[in-house]
Chain A
Amino acid sequence: DADVTQTPRNRITKTGKRIMLECSQTKGHDRMYWYRQDPGLGLRLIYYSFDVKDINKGEISDGYSVSRQAQAKFSLSLESAIPNQTALYFCATSPPRGSGANVLTFGAGSRLTVL
């Protein structure tokens, strides 16, 4: 099994629908992240969490919310999806301390299409 698992891998939805992307990890890492990838823009940070009680906005958090249900689970929600949220979404994890705190392990991505 993958260290970082994202579900669903692909989702097509309609404008206005609520969508949840889920991420679970077996790395035992405290820190988890959600990134969004758009062609020509690279990856941009949406939200990040250092532990269950510590959640922080990234550079593009508008229109998104997150939930850290457990150390191993971090979900991203789009309350009312819009077409410009069509993108590839990545979950990532990192350990809490030492130089390894700067090394991210990524999931395989969730491709979301909003019609």
Chain B
Amino acid sequence: AQSVTQPDIHITVSEGASLELRCNYSYGATPYLFWYVQSPGQGLQLLLKYFSGDTLVQGIKGFEAEFKRSQSSFNLRKPSVHWSDAAEYFCAVGDGSLKYGNKLVFGAGTILRVKS
């Protein structure tokens, strides 16, 4: 069964600084990988996804993530953080089984705080 580890529960960065959120997954085949963001009081919004092809994927709000098969990682990055990026971020892995639908497995989340 697949699993996802987000090693950092909380991260605090200064506004304008770069950001990297870590995600490691466990899955036997080629995974479908996702990053979602949850702002306070809101549902989850898809930031970006990786299915195949180019291992560097671009998402919304200036975020990008890089799939590294050798490290089983899918880290999320942003070159310059804005105060509005403060939220909780979830990495997720799907089994890619289109017949059985997408039973996403989520990491525990990383809470991002942005200081001015």
Are A and B genuine complex partners? yes
Interface residue ranges, A against B (CB under 8 Å): 4, 31, 35, 40-45, 48, 50, 58, 90, 92, 94, 97-99, 101-104, 106-109
Q: Could you show 9 A-B contacts with beta carbons less than 8 Å apart?
A: A43-B104, A43-B106, A44-B106, A97-B98, A101-B102, A102-B104, A104-B44, A106-B36, A108-B43
Q: A102-B98, A103-B34 given. 16 additional CB < 8 A pairs? A: A35-B106, A40-B108, A42-B90, A43-B104, A43-B106, A45-B104, A58-B103, A98-B98, A101-B101, A102-B32, A102-B51, A104-B44, A106-B36, A106-B44, A107-B43, A109-B43
- Residues of B within 8 Å of A31, CB to CB, are 101-102
Min CB–CB distance B27 → chain A (angstroms): 13
Once bound together, how far apart are the Cα atoms of A44 and B3, in whole Å?
11
Q: How far is the CA of A115 from the CA of B80 in the complex (A)?
A: 43
Give Cα A44 to B90, complex, Å.
Answer: 12
A40 to B110, CA, bound (A): 9
- Counted as pairs of residues, one from A and one from B, with CB atoms less than 8 Å apart, the total is 65
- Rounded to whole Å, the gap between the CB of B71 and the closest CB of chain A is 21
The size bracket of the interface on B is: 20 to 34
Residue pair B32, A42 in contact (C-beta under 8 Å): no
Return the CB mask of B38-79 against A: 1 if under 8 Å, else 0: 000111111001010000000000000000000000000000
Determine the chain A residues whose CB is within 8 A of the CB of B41 once the complex forms: 108
Q: Which of A90, A94, A102 contacts B44 (CB 8 A)?
A: A90
- Which residue, of B34, B51, B109, has the highest number of chain A Cβ atoms within 10 A? B109
A42 touches B107 (CB 8 A): yes
